[in-house]
């Protein structure tokens, strides 16, 4: 886990800079295969809190914590970082970095590599890329604006989406070649359309344009490919193309535990258990993020596990009591459970938080339908203009007025409304399933088949991802390098160098560091530090037992 680096600069306005350092180090470390890294939101929950690392370790289930500080003065910056064990508070490694400010992105990469190296040397083999730098701009101002936009996008609440859009546009204005800003803007447009901030067709068109611009600037931009996956799923209804873009996003660095695949499992494959497993896995790496608990609650909601969804929404609201999305969905769930008083309190509170706008208005009408207030809902329906035609379609469907519902559903189909992707299994459409026109629309969606025996699946093990270590060297190479290692240790006594590192040892062998790490762990059965220290211990015993050293203490 990377704790927020402390701003030690004289100017408190430089706080964004220390936060940016932390953010980029987290982003870089998440690209290391096999390394569990706590996400930014959960990390920043500890900002400005003096909590013992052992407590943090127990709370988040992590074995090591990186903490540090940033001191910025004019064009120079000093970054201090230290890697600490959460078991006993012992320091594995610490280092100072003094650099010119123009090299800040290179410094972030350098720190990330040092940290990854120390984890590998102390805990075992992991594959570390030659560079971990994730920044796609050298413009500090554009980067700062992107950071602010990223913060709001990760919350995904009504006002946050509008703020995120503003910051990403500003970042692009400062740096028109900032691929990541275009990708994030594309994702923001998708959420804006989903929240009725803008019409679906407009939002999806803008999202596709932004994602394509990002890919033109950087063909391996993982987030941009994920944006296209969402568009293919919820707007183009091209199920195969959605998975192709999703696979590209995973290939280029996106986590395979993400919202997109939960939606695909729920709406397209009807594999609710697998979707729930993925949502739970997201919480493991971001347990203090309001949105991950909301996502689990939403997954339970669509799977009709209402009681469990309330538990998840409650957890989200423990983290942020003003999170409107969790309030409105908890209200909906309580209404389906017949708890109408509690439902109205939650949804009215959500409406208050977002200024009476957004989908909470629709939710309020759903609650009133469930309460039996049909005439009141019809009166509102007749005088309301809807941004998304699927909204009145849902209400008329729940009112069991199929002809009116189909009229609006036809319009939603023409508008390529996001909600059309839910036709396969969402229970709000159950009153329409025998209607001839519904069957025609459903057939036009060309849904792929669902999984078989979805209710009697064996336990899903998606959360138990294992990383196999295929042989990185041939049998002949293994024998040769083991022989050279033995010579370096026993004849050259290279282990006596107190500063020796895995990378330095790899250089002496003319061997790539990842391959040396694999050789030590898989063929010798020791990580780097265990291997080096085994020789140091033998030498120490010899020196301690030598009568010529009887005048020395053990420490000496």
Instruction: Of 155, 147, 122, give the one whose Cα is nearest residue 27.
Output: 147
- Given a cut of 90, whether residue 449 has pLDDT beyond it is no
The pLDDT, as a whole number, for residue 470 is 64
75 and 96 both lie in a single domain? yes
Q: Domain boundary at 135, 157, 172, which?
A: 135
The pLDDT, as a whole number, for residue 461 is 32
The pLDDT, as a whole number, for residue 16 is 67
Most confident of 102-106, 110-114, 145-149, 220-224: 220-224
- Given a cut of 90, whether residue 519 has pLDDT beyond it is yes
User: Domain of 287: which CATH number?
Assistant: 1.25.40.10
The pLDDT, as a whole number, for residue 464 is 34
pLDDT tens digits for range 274-331: 999 999 999 998 999 999 999 999 999 999 999 999 999 999 999 999 999 999 999 9
User: Does residue 114 belong to any structural domain of this protein?
Assistant: yes
Gap between the Cα atoms of 118 and 112, Å rounded: 10
**Distances 322 to 3, 188, 236, 361, 468 between C-alpha atoms, Å:** 25, 21, 34, 17, 43
Average pLDDT, the chain: 89
444 and 318 both lie in a single domain? yes
H-assigned helices in 32-178: 40-44, 53-60, 104-123, 140-155, 158-174
- Paired with 78 in beta bridges are 71, 98
The pLDDT, as a whole number, for residue 22 is 87
- Calculate mean pLDDT across residues 395-422: 95
DSSP letters spanning 304-344: T-HHHHHHHHHHHHHH-TT-HHHHHHHHHHHHHTT-HHHHH
User: Does residue 483 belong to any structural domain of this protein?
Assistant: yes
The pLDDT, as a whole number, for residue 175 is 96
Which residues, 6 or more positions from 550, have their beta carbon under 8 angstroms from its beta carbon?
A: none
Which residues, 6 or more positions from 349, have their beta carbon under 8 angstroms from its beta carbon?
A: 327
The pLDDT, as a whole number, for residue 134 is 60
- Paired with 73 in beta bridges are 76
Tokens 């803007």, residue? 185
Gap between the Cα atoms of 21 and 204, Å rounded: 32
195 and 78 both lie in a single domain? no
111 and 252 both lie in a single domain? no
- The β-bridge relationship of strands 91-100 and 6-7 is unpaired
The better pLDDT of the pair 176, 354 is held by 176
- Given a cut of 90, whether residue 555 has pLDDT beyond it is no
DSSP letters spanning 192-220: HHHTTSS-HHHHHHHHHHHHHHHHHH-TT
- Given a cut of 80, whether residue 65 has pLDDT beyond it is yes
- Given a cut of 60, whether residue 459 has pLDDT beyond it is no
The pLDDT, as a whole number, for residue 476 is 93
What pTM was computed for the model? Answer: 0.76
- Calculate mean pLDDT across residues 483-501: 93
The pLDDT, as a whole number, for residue 463 is 31
Tokens of 511: 């061997």
User: Does residue 470 belong to any structural domain of this protein?
Assistant: no
127 and 207 both lie in a single domain? no
276 and 419 both lie in a single domain? yes
pLDDT above 90 as % of the chain:
61
pLDDT above 70 as % of the chain:
95
- Calculate mean pLDDT across residues 131-153: 80
304 and 388 both lie in a single domain? yes
- Calculate mean pLDDT across residues 475-490: 94
Radius of gyration of the chain (CA): 28
The pLDDT, as a whole number, for residue 23 is 80
Q: Is the dihedral of CA 320, 324, 329, 332 positive or negative?
A: positive
Packing angle of the helix pair 374-383, 390-398 (nearest 10 deg): 160
Q: Domain boundary at 456, 483, 513, which?
A: 456
130 and 219 both lie in a single domain? no
The phi and psi torsions of 111 (rounded to 5 degrees) equal -65, -45
Q: Which residues span the domain enclosing 384? A: 141-456
182-186, 220-224, 255-259, 414-418: least confidently modelled range: 255-259
User: Does residue 464 belong to any structural domain of this protein?
Assistant: no
User: Does residue 89 belong to any structural domain of this protein?
Assistant: yes
14-18, 233-237, 478-482: least confidently modelled range: 14-18
18-22, 248-252, 267-271, 400-404: least confidently modelled range: 18-22
492 and 400 both lie in a single domain? no
Q: Domain boundary at 87, 105, 135, which?
A: 135
Are the beta carbons of 121 and 501 closer than 8 angstroms?
A: yes
User: Does residue 252 belong to any structural domain of this protein?
Assistant: yes
pLDDT band at 352 (very low <50, low <70, confident <90, very high): very high
The pLDDT, as a whole number, for residue 452 is 54
User: Does residue 462 belong to any structural domain of this protein?
Assistant: no
**Distances 253 to 21, 28, 225, 261, 515 between C-alpha atoms, Å:** 20, 10, 11, 15, 22
The pLDDT, as a whole number, for residue 214 is 97
Gap between the Cα atoms of 7 and 68, Å rounded: 9
pLDDT tens digits for range 148-196: 898 888 777 889 999 999 999 999 999 999 999 999 999 999 999 888 8
Gap between the Cα atoms of 33 and 116, Å rounded: 11
Are the beta carbons of 418 and 194 closer than 8 angstroms?
A: yes
- Calculate mean pLDDT across residues 347-375: 94
333 and 392 both lie in a single domain? yes
pLDDT band at 454 (very low <50, low <70, confident <90, very high): very low
User: Domain of 34: which CATH number?
Assistant: 3.40.50.10610
The phi and psi torsions of 81 (rounded to 5 degrees) equal -135, 145
Question: End-to-end CA distance of the chain, in Å?
Answer: 35
281 and 379 both lie in a single domain? yes
154 and 127 both lie in a single domain? no
The total of structural domains in the chain comes to: 3
DSSP letters spanning 403-471: HHHHHHHHHHHHTT-GGGGGTTT-GGGGGGTT-HHHHHHHHHHTPPPPPTTGGGPPPP-TTS-------
User: Does residue 76 belong to any structural domain of this protein?
Assistant: yes
Are the beta carbons of 526 and 520 closer than 8 angstroms?
A: yes
């Amino acid at each position: 886990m990377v704790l927020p680096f402390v701003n030690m600069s004289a100017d408190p306005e430089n706080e964004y800079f220390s936060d940016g350092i932390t953010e980029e180090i987290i982003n870089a470390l998440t690209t290391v295969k096999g390394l569990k890294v706590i996400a930014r939101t959960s990390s920043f929950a500890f900002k400005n809190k003096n909590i013992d690392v052992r407590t943090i370790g127990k709370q988040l289930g992590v074995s090591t914590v990186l903490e540090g500080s940033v001191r910025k003065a004019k064009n120079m910056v000093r970054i201090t970082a230290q890697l600490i064990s959460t078991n006993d508070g012992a320091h594995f490694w610490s280092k100072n970095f003094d650099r010119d400010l123009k090299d800040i992105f290179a410094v972030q990469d350098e720190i990330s590599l040092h940290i990854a190296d120390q984890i590998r040397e102390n805990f075992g083999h992991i594959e570390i890329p030659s560079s971990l730098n994730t920044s796609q701009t050298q413009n500090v101002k554009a980067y700062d604006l992107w950071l602010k936009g990223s913060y709001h996008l990760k919350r995904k609440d009504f006002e946050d989406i509008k703020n995120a859009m503003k910051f990403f546009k500003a970042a692009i204005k400062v740096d028109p070649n900032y691929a990541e800003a275009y990708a994030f803007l594309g994702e923001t447009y998708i959420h804006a359309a989903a929240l009725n901030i803008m019409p679906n067709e407009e939002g999806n068109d803008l999202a596709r344009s932004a994602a394509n611009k990002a890919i033109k600037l950087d063909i391996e931009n993982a987030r941009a490919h994920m944006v296209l996956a969402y568009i293919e799923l919820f707007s183009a209804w091209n199920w195969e193309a959605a998975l192709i873009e999703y696979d590209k996003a995973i290939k280029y660095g996106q986590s395979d535990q993400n919202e997109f695949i939960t939606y695909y499992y729920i709406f397209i494959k009807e594999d609710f258990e697998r979707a729930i497993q993925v949502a739970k896995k997201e919480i493991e790496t971001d347990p203090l993020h309001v949105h991950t608990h909301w996502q689990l609650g939403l997954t339970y909601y669509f799977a009709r596990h209402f009681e469990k969804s309330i538990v998840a929404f409650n957890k989200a609201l423990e983290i942020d009591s003003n999170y409107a999305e969790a309030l409105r969905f908890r209200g909906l769930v309580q209404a389906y459970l017949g708890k109408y008083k509690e439902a109205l309190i939650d949804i009215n509170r959500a409406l208050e938080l977002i200024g009476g706008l957004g989908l909470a208005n629709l939710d309020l009408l759903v609650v009133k339908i469930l309460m039996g207030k049909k005439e009141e809902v019809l009166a509102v329906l007749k005088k309301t203009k809807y941004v998304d035609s699927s909204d009145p379609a849902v209400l008329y469907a729940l009112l069991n007025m199929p002809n009116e519902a189909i009229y609006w559903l036809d319009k939603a189909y023409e508008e390529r409304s996001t909600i059309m992707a839910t036709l396969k299994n969402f229970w709000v459409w159950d009153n329409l399933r025998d209607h001839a026109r519904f069957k025609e629309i459903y057939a036009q969606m060309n849904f792929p088949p669902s999984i078989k025996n979805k209710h009697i699946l064996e336990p899903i093990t998606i959360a138990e991802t294992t990383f196999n270590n295929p042989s990185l060297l041939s049998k002949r190479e293994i024998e040769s390098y083991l022989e050279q290692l033995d010579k370096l240790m026993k004849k050259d006594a290279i282990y006596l160098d107190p500063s020796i590192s895995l990378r330095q040892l790899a250089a002496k062998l003319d061997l790539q560091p990842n391959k040396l790490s694999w050789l030590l762990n898989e063929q010798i059965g020791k990580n780097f530090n265990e291997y080096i220290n085994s020789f140091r211990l033998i030498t120490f015993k010899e020196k301690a037992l030598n009568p010529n050293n009887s005048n020395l203490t053990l420490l000496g």
